[in-house]
Structure 1
Amino acid sequence: MTPAARYQAAIEILDDILAGTPAEKALTGWARRSRFAGSKDRAAVRDHVFDVLRQKQSCAALGGKSGRGLILGLIRAEGRAPDTVFVGGDYGPAPLTEEECLAGDASDVLDLPEWIVPHLQAALGEAFAPTERALRSRAPVMLRVNLAKSTCTDALRALADEGITAQPVEGSETALVVSEGARRVKLGRAYMDGLVELQDGSSQDAVAALAGLTPQRVLDYCAGGGGKSLALAALCDARIDAHDANPGRMADLPDRMARAGTDLRRLTTEDLATQPPYDLVICDVPCSGSGTWRRTPDMKWRFSPEMLAELLATQDAILDAAATHVAPGGHLAYMTCSLLCEENEERAESFVQRHKGFEPVDQRRWPVSPKGDGFFMAQFKRVS
């Protein structure tokens, strides 16, 4: 595909998304209809679509609200000449009309849904503006060095042998940021042999803090794919059980364990009911994902006040259930990848009010940054 043809494909996909199709479904549908597109073409088209979704309001102000207008706005936002893309022909976007040649102004535009702006301003204070700008850009590709199998130096060497360039993150024993060759990571020996795993830097930092508790028995109550369980297993000698209300979310965990050289138990809700209490229970709860909207920009525009209200009730219910599995003297860790006070500090405070046998021991936010996503963790200790 020519560069212009890739932009035309992105226009068609964006029109599909604007009509209500989720971004991933729209991209998959296009790929299935476009067997002629190679892997580089699909990657480039995906990048164009997600670059627009991260800054949809700005692109609309600069070009228009249709798929074509959004791509025009993206090109202007990137400082490129639109007439190098809107070239017409059989596969490229048609040349610009006289009206389209008039550029708009995006200097005062916020790339967020209007309803959520006051929530984020209240939560972030002076950090609101830099966070809003950061959410317009691509997220870093982060790796976790599996210390059970490798060292940072050896992992970097193995990645370099495969043409992948990465740098250590200051202050972290395990985090690497990939600067070149990110799309080759999952195909390389370092990943396949379990020397590294894809994991955001903020999550790694949070797990490292929990490893400092030196737990002996751990329950990952909302395990999902098991990333935090695997990270903790590489940092401490603990018996770790992984549970999820939807066991299907843990389907990939056996393969990930095999790569990592780690043995975890997967427990159903029925299995969990027979287990003795744990000295650490981790709750990485469903949330808005607002701290990860660089990675899932479509969700930013689909999220609603009604969805937030449902999530808050779910988060409280999960914490209440998880608390029953904490042993006396044990710890409960509540995690989100949200930026909102409603999902973070307010849920932590509400939990303590409902459960007098727990006291807060630590609370921390991680900002959206070049080193990781926005993240929150509160720790509680069971004192009675």
Structure 2
Amino acid sequence: MRLGGRLAAAIEVLEDINRRHRPAADALRDWGLSHRFAGGGDRAAIGNIVYDALRRKRSAGWLLGDETPRATGFGALLLEWGQTAQSLNAALEGDKFAPPLLSNAELATVAGRKLADAPDEVRADSPDWCVPLLKEAFGEAWVEEGAALAARPPLDLRTNTLQATRAKVLAELAETGAEPAHLASQGIRIAPIAGDGRHPNVQAEPAFQKGWFEVQDEGSQIAAELADAKPGMQVLDYCAGAGGKSLALSAAMENKGQVFAHDAEKQRLAPIFDRMRRSENRNIQVVAREQELAPLTGHMDIVLVDAPCTGSGTWRRRPDAKWRLTSRQLDTRKAEQSAILDVAKGFVKPGGLLVYITCSVFPEENGGQVSNFLARHKGFAPVDHAALWQARFPGHDAAARLGPQFGISLSPALSGTDGFYFCALRKVA
């Protein structure tokens, strides 16, 4: 397929997403099933246009003066693919599968607009209702951080130290352009793709099959490192999901002690079994039923709560979720977080830690949630997060927002990671 056919297909997918209010991954999968002639390169390029259009929906639409799928599809190519309006029309001309060329009116609109002159919420590519939340989170840097949340993401990996060293994995993945991560001690980064490129299929690598590494955002790796799990500890990963942090904690503990992996939605735990076998994490017990956790009450050195949240910190990877999110969903997540914390605290032993993590940048889900918890429960106190950060990541104070009481925040523009929040509370009574 030429660029015109790929753009037309992307616009078709974007129309499906708008019409049916469905995740982008589902719409792209269904398009591929009904257009089996499209090769892997075509599907990757179409996916790039779709995700670029969703990440840059406001700024792409602003350039064209509209937010239709056609406008955002064209705008994405202008913003992310190095195209000009003239070069794009030239590339589409004569392609019978291409959408109609940019009209004279559209050409004039594009020529008369510079993104630097756009309103702040457009440059931040943020829904209007999220603007106050971003301002509260980032202050004067909110536009820069919003734009970073709308950028293409890197591909991050975590070395499994039970099986390999980072140097060994880097040597194995040398052809992919992999480099050591900036902060995470066992992190590896493959830079964001450009244009119609695609990240290497690292899960097809022999090193992955041998359990040498896992795919995990650097921010998630940092959160696991900050939990500071030690060999011999008893750890409960209360919202374990597919087990990424359980695996990281187990490796940090050198397979000594015990990690209990639990999730209220037990189907989410399904991938952890294959991951454990491949990576040789032998000190993880999967506990699917809530009642089976009762013997752990009051005995855990660390209870880690990677809470369900809006996922606003992951918008660069899941940009469609940004436009589906509502204030009502935020309220629902806050209620869930509060209820989970109130239960999870019961498993912490005296002197142990309750570790609260989200992949959100919204203060109401982060420091606000911790503040409310501390008001309800007087037996917990925040650790010194500035000292914790300096101990784990010395010399990188500028890479995180450090609250003396209410935690550590990571973000794309500041940390180069997804947006994450971390807070450790010690049980003092």
Shorter-chain TM range is over 0.9
Give the structure 1 partner of residue 158 of structure 2.
144
Task: Give the match for residue 366 of structure 1.
Answer: 410
The one-letter amino acid paired with 1:11 is I
2:290 is matched with which residue? 269
TM-aligned CA distance change 1:293 to 1:121, over 3 Å: same
Q: Which residues of 2 match residues 144-223 of structure 1 at below 5 A?
A: 144-160=158-174, 163-179=175-191, 182-211=199-228, 216-223=233-240
Aligned equivalent of 2:97: 91
Choose the corresponding residue for 1:257, options 276, 284, 304: 276
The TM-score normalised by the length of structure 2 is: 0.85
Cα distance change, pair 171–98 in 1 and its aligned pair in 2 (3 A): closer
* Contact residue 329 and residue 382 of structure 1 kept, 8 A: yes
Following superposition, the deviation at residue 184 of structure 1 comes to 2.1
Deviation (angstroms), 1:188: 0.4
Is 1:35 aligned to 2:36, yes or no?
yes
2:331 counterpart letter in structure 1: A
> How many angstroms does 1:73 deviate by?
1.5
Equivalent residue number for residue 305 of structure 2: 283
- 3-state secondary structure, aligned to 2:104: coil
2:6 corresponds to which residue? Answer: 6
User: What one-letter code is carried by the residue in structure 2 that aligns with 1:372?
Assistant: T
1:172: how far off?
3.1
Offset of residue 67 of structure 1: 1.5
Choose between structure 1 and 2: higher helix proportion. 2
Residue deviations 1:166-221 (CA, integer Å, cap 9, x gap): 11123432011113873320110111111111011111112112225666100000
What amino acid sits opposite 2:129 in the alignment? Answer: W
What pairs up with 1:369-384 in 2 under 5 angstroms? Answer: 369=413, 371-384=416-429
Cα separation, partners in 2 of 1:77 and 1:124, compared to 1, 3 Å:
same
Give RMSD over aligned pairs.
1.7
**1:3-152 alignment to 2 at 5 Å?**
3-19=3-19, 20-63=21-64, 64-78=66-80, 79-80=82-83, 81-87=87-93, 89-104=95-110, 105=113, 106=115, 107-108=117-118, 109-110=122-123, 111-152=125-166
Match of 2:376 in 1: 354
Match of 1:243 in 2: 262
SS at 1:103 equivalent: helix
**Partner SS for 2:158:** strand
- Unmatched 5+ residue regions in structure 2? 386-406
2: distance between equivalents of 1:169 and 1:126? 27
Amino acid at match of 1:172: A
Query: Which 10-residue stretch deviates more, 322-331 or 68-77?
Result: 68-77
3-state SS of paired residue (1:256): helix
- Is the alpha carbon distance of 1:295 and 1:171 closer, same or farther for their aligned partners in structure 2, counting shifts above 3 Å? closer
Check whether the contact 2:5–2:95 (CA below 8 A) recurs between aligned residues: no
Contact 1:215/1:280, CA 8 A, preserved across alignment: no
Q: What is the CA-CA distance between 1:39 and the residue it aligns to?
A: 1.4
- For residue 94 of structure 1, report the CA deviation from its aligned partner: 2.2
Q: Deviations over 1:197-246 (max 9, x none)?
A: 10111111121122256661000000000000100111113300100000
Percent identical pairs in the alignment equals: 38
1:125: Cα distance to partner? 1.0
What displacement does 1:102 show? 2.3
> Is the contact between residue 60 and residue 72 of structure 2 (CA under 8 Å) also seen in structure 1?
yes
Equivalent residue, structure 2, for 1:233: 250
Aligned residues between the structures:
382
Q: Structure 2 counterpart of 1:250, which letter?
A: L
Aligned with 1:300: secondary structure?
A: helix
- In the superposition, relative to structure 1, how do residues 128 and 270 fare at CA in structure 2: closer, same or farther (>3 Å)? same
Kindly state the Cα deviation for residue 371 of structure 1 after the two structures are TM-superposed: 3.4
- When normalised by structure 1's length, the TM-score is 0.95
2:231–2:252 CA contact under 8 A, matched in 1 = no
Contact (CA 8 Å) 1:200, 1:373: kept in 2 or not? Answer: yes
In the TM superposition, what whole-angstrom CA distance separates every residue of 1:340-366 from its partner, at most 9, and x where no partner exists?
Answer: 110000101111111111111132111
Shift of 1:278: 1.0
SS at match of 1:144: strand
